[in-house]
Chains A and B, each alone.
Chain A
């Protein structure tokens, strides 16, 4: 039977009942991953930011006070903060995960495409092709095959003559660079309204 409590109630309850936080995670993990994917364009970064955001929310759940801010809005506040740090430093640290003893996991290969599916490239495709010019030839080619031509990774790997993992890595790094660059130019990567 699904938990009937609201997000705020779950977050408050999680202070004494840590399991309640897992329920909150189940409800919002995919949305948050999409939020990050659409902003960073990079599945690896999006996954790491998701893990780090939930870890930080879990670690500091005691500080949440119900002052009219919805529990989820509070988590998205942390997410924005983490995203800002990523755009400033170009990397995601694992401080919150370390604090609560959570391992740093690699993104499984099959998740790349699944997460990229969450990203709606259509509105940014034009800007993207411009940004591609700034990448290294390897990354640019991989990005073109994957993002513009929308080929699956095995095909991208075939065309590039490299392993599938290598192709994924090239696309991932390329996307991250592009996202950072677009962010620096002040370009809005998504028109999506935040949850």
Chain B
């Protein structure tokens, strides 16, 4: 360096030293990189475990996929059975207690055992009696049985099965036919003894109607509605409330009995204190009787009249605006959905494993056999 300034000469020395330090460091890093590169090749045993882990993961993923595929036809089946007529939710109807039976159609002669949620009363029916026998608290462990006269299966279904039926149908009609189709729909309802409960129309070419039809005419109504135009979608669901009906009826009977008993006691009561206490109890029982009667009335109405929701649309009418969803985001709902999804995945994996494991075992056996034969041959040669 051509300078006579000592400071700059010293600085040059200092920089040279710093450069040398850095060069040494770079060389070290290079060495490390080489060693890191070398160590990237895992030892044989670790590679072996890695391969096993990868195979296991692949196997589980495959099992999950198969499980999902396997579960899909089941869903379709359920949907088909719902469309065919009846969807039974007896478990729900008896207040969360799993239903003893939920067969698609009632077995001749036996409707099943209906158990109330509290388990303090029990009503059981055999041979399809019209009147329900009721066991009270004392007879809880011994279900009462009533024998009625023999009935034909169709009669039993008509009398005993309490099924709330719902239908939904989307009909497309030719352009300009909306008005006449609307009249047809309304006429179907009235001609069968039903009525139009709600009606919404848009632009004189799209409309949604809710029909209430006597339950017995439900199938006829659906059939006639299908003839109004081209059916785009069509679904029928049924909710079996037989058990709930039986339960409520039994409850009503108990309450009525209790009221009679209390009234009898009240007439024999001597002290005013006793009379007042019994009056309070009678009043409470009366209230419960009315509540139960109301519940039964509601169920009867629901069963007596089916609901059919009809979407009617002219062919080239714009799609009806979907109803705005007002449901806000909910953390608990998200967690619930997430948990359900997780369980569904686990379930799918288990189902898939059920498919895969036997196949895998057979494959393993064949592989073992082939290996054995080969070894023997090699040993022989």
- A residues with CB within 8 A of B: 14, 16-19, 21-22, 25-26, 29-30, 33, 47, 50-51, 54-55, 58, 100-103, 105, 107-108, 110-111, 114-115
- Complex contact B4–A54 (CB within 8 A): no
A29 touching B8 in the complex, CB below 8 Å, given contacts A58-B18, A100-B18:
yes
Size of the chain B interface, CB-CB below 8 angstroms? 21
A29 to B9 CA separation, bound complex (whole angstroms)? 10
* Contacts from B to A (Cβ < 8 Å): 1, 3-8, 10-12, 14-23, 26
Nearest-CB residue, chain A, relative to B21: A101
Nearest CB of A to B32, in Å: 16
A26 near B14 with CB under 8 A, answer no
Cα of A116 to Cα of B209 in the assembled complex, Å: 101
Interface of A is mostly: helix
Q: Which residue of B lies closest to A108 (CB)?
A: B6
**A107 neighbours in B (Cβ, 8 Å):** 7
Q: Tell whether, in the assembled complex, residue B12 and residue A110 are in contact, meaning their CB atoms are under 8 Å apart.
A: no
A16 to B22, CA, bound (A): 9
Prevailing SS type, chain B contact patch: helix
Determine whether the beta carbon of B10 is less than 8 Å from that of A105.
yes
Find chain B residues with CB under 8 A from A115 CB: 5, 7
Contact in complex: A18, B8 (CB < 8 Å): no
CB distance from A36 to the nearest CB of B (A): 12
Q: Do A105 and B7 touch across chains, with their CB atoms under 8 A apart?
A: yes
- A sample of 26 cross-chain residue pairs with beta-carbon separation below 8 angstroms, ordered by A number, consists of A18-B18, A18-B19, A19-B19, A19-B20, A19-B23, A21-B15, A22-B12, A22-B15, A29-B12, A50-B11, A58-B15, A58-B18, A100-B18, A101-B21, A102-B14, A102-B15, A105-B11, A105-B14, A108-B6, A108-B7, A110-B6, A111-B5, A111-B6, A111-B7, A114-B4, A115-B7
Q: Which residues of B contact A30 (CB under 8 A)?
A: 3, 5, 8
Contact among A18, A29, A47, A51 for B22, CB-based, below 8 A: A18
